[in-house]
């Protein structure tokens, strides 16, 4: 298991460190960071009910993540899109169309090793200013980092430039959404929206402040479309032209292609994952009941040349009764002590077959 090292800075002013078996890196050697991204982490009403423990009158989502815990923890950084708000008011618990999840939803994320959660998406303002504030606060209280939403202008200035340093490699990560479903963001709260000028400014700041790699995390595109649309292509090109190394996408709720290429201008590698699909949800429309874990290694060699390598995908499917996330290859190898009903197993295997046909899946190296 990779050491989980949390050392991050906002605007190079505010720094917090959580160290676990950490040795200062030797910069004369090759430096590496292993990263895992998952797609949309949703919480529909039926999930909320399934997470309730009558004996303790509390909620806990851990059972959804039990079978993928080892995989998620086997990285230096694990990231996912928190596509719900968190509320401490039971009367606000709800699924679609305005998501509000109990604090216990974060329990599972914390237990399985998530480090960073994107909070800028079309559901960021579902519960108004209270939901934005509570989501940020409770994510931080659970030792995870929220990026993309802010409680005030001062909070925005403090946290807007997120630069994570792990193993001597500085990684800047910025999160944006196309909208908040028309819900106004009021009372000075801020949800970071897609904006070309802002993206250019953010990437320039990251470069000027020593980031080795820049990741842009987009919430964009059209739901349920299996191929990237023109707007996704537009924002990807804007990000790449600005100088981003990696672009991660979400919102379509289905998996889309992964592009890997070498920039002819500087011979550096670029990685684009247009949509990682649903990692956890109660959606059952075709191909929305699963997603992928995207893993890759960021590396800086002895001569200072940077690269992206060891790009891998792992296909997962959500079992619709208990909302268990099933790594399909482990299920097929009987590494998981569960047996699905035949009709569910067929649906899961059909999903895997579909994923294998998508451009860029099954990558073993790059």
Q: Please check the confidence at residue 329 and state whether its pLDDT lies above 60.
A: yes
- CA distance readout (Å), 47 to 43, 95, 253: 6, 9, 17
Half-sphere exposure of 107 (CA within 13 A, CB side): 16
Q: Please check the confidence at residue 31 and state whether its pLDDT lies above 60.
A: yes
Q: Please check the confidence at residue 16 and state whether its pLDDT lies above 70.
A: no
Q: Please check the confidence at residue 260 and state whether its pLDDT lies above 50.
A: yes
Largest distance between two CA atoms of the chain: 61
| DSSP conformation letters of 279-323 | EE----STT-SEEEEEEEEEEE-TTS-EEEEEEEEEEEEE-TTT-
Q: Please check the confidence at residue 258 and state whether its pLDDT lies above 70.
A: yes
pLDDT value of position 285: 97
Rounded mean pLDDT, 252-276: 93
Query: What tokens appear for 228 in the block?
Result: 């990237």
Position with higher pLDDT, 306 vs 28: 306
Residue 90 φ then ψ, to 5°: -55, -30
Q: How far apart are CA 189 and CA 159, in angstroms?
A: 13
Query: What tokens appear for 210 in the block?
Result: 């020593």
DSSP label of 177: E
pLDDT value of position 6: 52
pLDDT value of position 10: 57
Residue 229 φ then ψ, to 5°: -90, 180
Average pLDDT along the chain:
92
| Domains, the chain | 6-356 (3.60.21.10)
Place of tokens 């982490």: 41
Q: How far apart are CA 305 and CA 303, in angstroms?
A: 6
pLDDT-above-90 percentage for the chain: 87
Angle between helix 230-242 and 196-208 (nearest 10): 30
Q: Please check the confidence at residue 22 and state whether its pLDDT lies above 80.
A: no
pLDDT value of position 206: 98
Burial class for 135, CB neighbours closer than 10 Å (0-12, 13-18, 19+): buried
pLDDT-derived band at 3, boundaries 50, 70, 90: low
| DSSP conformation letters of 233-258 | HHHHHHHHHHT-SEEEEESSSSB--E
pLDDT value of position 130: 98
β-bridge mates for residue 179, sequence order: none
pLDDT-derived band at 267, boundaries 50, 70, 90: confident
pLDDT value of position 15: 34
* pLDDT digits 0-9 by tens, 142-171: 999 999 999 999 999 999 999 999 999 999
20-24, 174-178, 305-309: range with lowest mean pLDDT: 20-24
Q: Please check the confidence at residue 19 and state whether its pLDDT lies above 80.
A: no
pLDDT value of position 308: 96
Nearest to 50 by CA among 287, 362, 282: 282
7-11, 92-96, 184-188, 331-335: range with lowest mean pLDDT: 7-11
β-bridge mates for residue 146, sequence order: 117
* pLDDT digits 0-9 by tens, 93-142: 999 999 999 999 999 999 999 999 999 999 999 999 999 999 999 999 99
Query: What tokens appear for 202 in the block?
Result: 């953010």
pLDDT value of position 358: 96
Q: Please check the confidence at residue 240 and state whether its pLDDT lies above 60.
A: yes
Nearest to 81 by CA among 44, 37, 48, 125: 37
- CA distance readout (Å), 54 to 58, 65, 234, 313, 352: 7, 20, 48, 37, 35
pLDDT-derived band at 262, boundaries 50, 70, 90: confident
Burial class for 361, CB neighbours closer than 10 Å (0-12, 13-18, 19+): middle
């Amino acid at each position: 298991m990779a050491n989980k090292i949390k050392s991050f800075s906002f605007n190079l002013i505010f720094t917090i460190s959580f160290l676990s078996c950490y040795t200062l890196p030797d910069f004369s050697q090759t430096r590496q960071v292993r990263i895992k991204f998952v797609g949309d982490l949703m919480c529909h009403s039926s999930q909320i009910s399934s997470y309730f423990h009558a004996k303790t009158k509390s909620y806990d989502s851990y059972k959804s993540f039990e079978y993928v815990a080892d995989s998620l923890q086997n990285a230096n950084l694990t990231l996912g899109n928190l596509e719900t708000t968190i509320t401490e008011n039971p009367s606000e618990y709800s699924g679609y169309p305005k998501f509000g999840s109990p604090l216990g939803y974060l329990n599972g994320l914390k237990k399985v090793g998530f480090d960073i959660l994107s909070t800028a998406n079309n559901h960021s303002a579902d519960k108004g200013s209270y939901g934005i504030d509570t989501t940020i606060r409770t994510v931080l209280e659970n030792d995870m980092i929220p990026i993309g939403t802010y409680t005030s202008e001062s909070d925005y200035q403090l946290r807007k430039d997120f630069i994570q340093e792990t193993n001597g490699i500085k990684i800047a990560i910025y999160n944006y959404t196309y909208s908040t479903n028309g819900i106004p963001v009021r009372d000075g709260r801020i949800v970071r929206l897609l904006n070309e000028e802002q993206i250019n400014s953010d990437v320039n700041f990251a470069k000027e402040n020593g980031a080795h790699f820049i990741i842009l995390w987009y919430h964009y595109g059209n739901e349920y479309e299996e191929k990237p649309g023109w707007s996704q292509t537009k924002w990807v090109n804007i990000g790449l032209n600005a100088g981003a190394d990696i672009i991660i996408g979400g919102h379509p709720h289905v998996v889309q292609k992964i592009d890997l290429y070498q920039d002819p201008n500087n011979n550096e590698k670029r990685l684009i994952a247009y949509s990682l699909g649903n990692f956890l949800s109660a959606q059952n429309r075709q191909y929305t009941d699963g997603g992928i874990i995207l893993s890759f290694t960021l590396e800086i060699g002895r001569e200072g040349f940077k690269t992206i390598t060891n790009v891998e995908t792992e296909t997962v499917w959500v079992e619709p009764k208990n909302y268990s996330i099933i790594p399909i290859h482990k299920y097929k190898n009987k590494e998981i002590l569960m047996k699905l009903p035949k009709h569910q197993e067929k649906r899961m295997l059909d999903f895997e077959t579909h994923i294998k046909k998508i451009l860029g899946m099954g990558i073993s190296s790059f």
